[in-house]
Amino acid sequence: MAGPFLTMLDLAGVAVFAAAGALAASRRQLDIVSFLFMAAVTGLGGGTLRDLLLGATPIFWISDGRPLALCAAVAVIVYLFAHKLESRYRALLWADAIGLAAYAIVGSGKALATGAGFAPAILLGVVSATFGGIIRDVLTGEKSVLLRREVYVTAALLGAGVFVLADFAGLSRPLAATAGFLAGFGLRAGALAFGWALPVYRPRPPADPGP
Amino acid sequence: MAGPFLTMLDLAGVAVFAAAGALAASRRQLDIVSFLFMAAVTGLGGGTLRDLLLGATPIFWISDGRPLALCAAVAVIVYLFAHKLESRYRALLWADAIGLAAYAIVGSGKALATGAGFAPAILLGVVSATFGGIIRDVLTGEKSVLLRREVYVTAALLGAGVFVLADFAGLSRPLAATAGFLAGFGLRAGALAFGWALPVYRPRPPADPGP
Amino acid sequence: MAGPFLTMLDLAGVAVFAAAGALAASRRQLDIVSFLFMAAVTGLGGGTLRDLLLGATPIFWISDGRPLALCAAVAVIVYLFAHKLESRYRALLWADAIGLAAYAIVGSGKALATGAGFAPAILLGVVSATFGGIIRDVLTGEKSVLLRREVYVTAALLGAGVFVLADFAGLSRPLAATAGFLAGFGLRAGALAFGWALPVYRPRPPADPGP
């Protein structure tokens, strides 16, 4: 269904989201089993929601043991080496940024493969890209990454949109996926490095009451 | 499967929940893309959970682009005009009330159509009616609408219960749906307007220790 | 699919998680309908996620009215008698401990029955065992039980692991399930009674910057 390029991007997304989940566990000073749990839930969460919405059950990590093994390995590595990082929260955000861009492409690609239209394919990319971060923040009680000022959902939307548009325009799948990934990751990287943000909603005073 | 009346109620539920989601985004001063995201997730969330539980995949908004387009249009309208509202939180609660009543009926109706019994059909209505509000509050970090004093789950339960009972009693589907909707919305409207609430649980002092 | 022993364990898990959900409602001084809602969502949540991930839809409580009736009965009993408890939070944690151990076994057992491998079956047990408590805490705004210091996920992991290993080793299903249940519940009981905890992650000072 998905070509080798999307499969590679999928595993890369699992690994970096697992790292972000394990880093969230380290910030909460949890134990090693909770590192494993947070790595597995965050690493596999977005793809799980994607497969549920597409009706692709049993879920990918039940029929295939490798994604889970990858999460476990990443959790152990983070447990052993996270203290060497200057800022574990910055590392978490950068891992999350790679995962966000990767999952936006993979989610949209799987949706296209089931015959979804333009807009639904993009939404599925956005939802599966953001769900790992959402569930990680809910489980560890962090302020949701969705509420941060710099662009987040927008980066997933841009990545998924560029990929789907390039696919509709007839580009080869790996080329479209690369373009989408670079667009999504580039925007989020700019947001993390330079604080890029869209203008926020500022309520003006209420209108005069009608006659 | 669902008749035209339930389909209309379904789209109405999507639109008002999308408005509630976009209003929640405005209260958090998010950007326009986050308005779109919150409108889509809140507007489509309850129906998504309903379809997942019934095994109706791929989910309705993947095979049909219109519900998502409706959410996007509502998000833009709220972004442009929400500042004209006297109280965006009151507007959010009233939109949520319409969605709550509509989704209680649609959820129960779809469950009955798959052969679910009395009580499971009612629970499916209650769960799909309340899920949009739950996920909206979780994502924006608001205090859960479930914890508000006035009746909320009860209104969904009354609406779904009246609809399912009327259906079992042999009323036509549109008549049963109208009765259920009016009962559910009427109770929630009374709660919002007059503070209607059930007596709450008040723990008494612990019993004497046994002999 | 599941034998009579797993079915019994499943219903026991539903009942004690329902009790934990209703006790959480009592701690928030909610009304009787919210007791019913919290009992149903907490009691049925773990099994619902399990069935969704395995693709076993419609979900068990839609095709069978008994689990839901059990939750309703438990909610009413808790509403009437919870004030007799010395500490409702302790009661909640102990009910949760029984449910945790029971669902770890049932979740792993159902996964094995669909042909899942070793590690995925264990993760499915852990996820379905912990999800009821997670959703209960999210809905009532309690600090997540996952973040408590004493072992929690670890108990689910031990129970599921012992069960799956004993099953792979050829023990009869009821014997393997009993061993897993006792291991998981025993560890969590020790945690509640004596504060057993794994060492937590303590970040050391950051490494010297490289050359």
Q: What is the pLDDT of residues C165-181, one digit of tens each?
A: 999 999 999 999 999 99
Contact A146, A134 (CB under 8 A): yes
Answer whether residue C68 is part of any domain. Answer: yes
* Residues of B whose CB is below 8 A from A202: 29
Q: Number of A:B CB contacts under 8 A?
A: 96
Residue A46: inside a domain, yes or no?
yes
- DSSP SS3 for B170: coil
A200 DSSP assignment:
B
How many other β-carbons are positioned within 10 Å of the β-carbon of residue C199? Answer: 7
Chain B: partners with 3+ C-beta pairs within 8 Å: A, C
Q: Nearest-CA residue of chain A relative to B25?
A: A201
CB burial class (10 A; 0-12, 13-18, 19+) of residue A64?
Answer: middle
Q: Do A68 and C119 touch (CB under 8 A)?
A: yes
**pLDDT tens-digit profile of B160-188?**
999 999 999 999 999 999 999 999 999 99
Cβ distance A33 to C157 less than 8 Å, yes or no, reads yes
- pLDDT of B128 reads 95
Rounded mean pLDDT, A85-89: 79
> Scanning every residue of chain C, which has its alpha carbon at the shortest distance from the alpha carbon of B49?
C52
Residue B200 belongs to some domain of the structure: no
Burial grade of A211 (CB within 10 A; 0-12, 13-18, 19 or more) = exposed
> Which of C14, C23, C28, C33 to probe by mutation at the B interface, max B CB count within 10 Å?
C33
Q: Is the pLDDT of residue B207 over 70?
A: no
Classify residue B203: in a domain, yes or no.
no
What's the token pair of residue B131?
A: 């899920």
**pLDDT at residue C204 is higher than 70:** no
Cα–Cα nearest to C156, from A90, B175, A164, A41 = A41
Residue-wise pLDDT tens digits, C90-134: 888 899 999 999 999 999 999 999 889 999 999 999 999 999 999
Lowest mean pLDDT across A30-34, B166-170, C42-46, C139-143 = C139-143
The residue range of the domain holding A173 is 4-194
Contact B141 A127 (CB under 8 A): no
Chain-chain contact of C127 with A41 (C-beta, under 8 angstroms): yes
Query: ∠ CA(C114), CA(C57), CA(A105), 5° rounding?
Result: 85
Q: Is the Cβ–Cβ distance between B82 and B137 less than 8 Å?
A: no
Rounded CA separation B38/B21 (Å):
5
Q: Which residues contact A174 (CB under 8 A, 6 or more apart)?
A: A3, A5
Nearest to B68 among A119, A146, A147 (CB): A119
Let me know if A205 is exposed, middle or buried by CB neighbors in 10 A (0-12, 13-18, 19+): exposed
Closest C-alpha to A96, from A191, A28, A175: A191
Distance from CA of A151 to the nearest CA of C (A): 26
pLDDT for position B208: 43
The pLDDT value recorded for residue B141 is: 85
CA distance A183 to chain C (A): 31
Backbone φ and ψ for B144, nearest 5 degrees, come out as -60, 135
**Average pLDDT of the residues in A192-202:** 86
Nearest partner of A103 among A2, A3, A6, judged by Cα: A6
Query: In this complex, do C202 and A29 lie within 8 Å of one another by their Cβ atoms?
Result: yes
- B60 is written with which tokens? 């309705």
Using a CB-CB distance cutoff of 8 angstroms, which residues of chain A are in contact with residue B40?
Answer: 123
The secondary structure element, H or E, covering residue B193 is helix B173-194
> Which residues neighbour C176 within 8 Å (Cβ) at sequence distance 6 or greater?
C162, C163, C166, C167
Q: What mean pLDDT is predicted for residues A118-137?
A: 94
The DSSP call for residue A206 is P
pLDDT (0 to 100) of residue B210: 41
* Measured distance CA(B66)–CA(B50) in Å, rounded: 18
Tell me: pLDDT of C208 over 70. no
Can you give B51-94 as a three-state secondary structure string?
Answer: HHHHCCCCCHHHHCCHHHHHHHHHHHHHHHHHHHCCCHHHHHHH
pTM summary value: 0.91
Contact: C140, B120; criterion CB under 8 Å: no
- Percentage of the residues of chain C whose pLDDT score is greater than 90: 66
List the single residue in A52, A79, A141 with the smallest CB-CB distance to C144: A141
Is residue B31 helix, strand or coil? strand
The pLDDT mean for chain B works out to: 89
Which residues have C-beta within 8 Å of that of residue C36, sequence separation ≥ 6? B157, C71, C72, C75, C76
Which of B111, B203, B205 is opposite residue C82, by nearest beta carbon? B203
Evaluate if residue C150 carries a pLDDT over 80: yes
* Residue whose C-alpha is closest to residue A111's, from B48, B52, B40, B62: B62
Given a cut of 70, whether residue B205 has pLDDT beyond it is no
Give me B140's structure tokens.
């924006």
Looking at chain A, list the stretches that DSSP marks H as alpha helix, in order from N- to C-terminal side.
4-27, 32-54, 60-63, 66-81, 88-113, 118-140, 153-168, 173-194
Residue C186 included in any domain: yes
Size of interface B-C (CB pairs under 8 A): 97
Strand partners, C200: A31
Please return the burial class of B170, using the count of CB atoms within 10 Å of its CB with bins 0-12, 13-18 and 19+.
Answer: exposed
Picking from C52, C197, C200, the nearest residue to A52 by CB comes out as C52
A209 in a domain, yes or no? no
- For C206, nearest residue in chain A (alpha carbons): A84
- The closest CB to that of B153, out of C33, C59, C88, belongs to C33
**Structure tokens of C82?**
């919870």
Q: What is the CB-side half-sphere exposure of residue C166 using CA atoms within 13 A?
A: 22
Q: Which pLDDT score is estimated for B200?
A: 81
In a domain, C208, yes or no: no
Q: Taking 80 as the threshold, does the pLDDT of residue B58 lie above it?
A: yes
CA dist B118 and B163 (Å) reads 11
In a domain, A90, yes or no: yes
Nearest to A68 among C123, C130, C143 (CB): C123
Count up the domains in chain C and report the number: 1
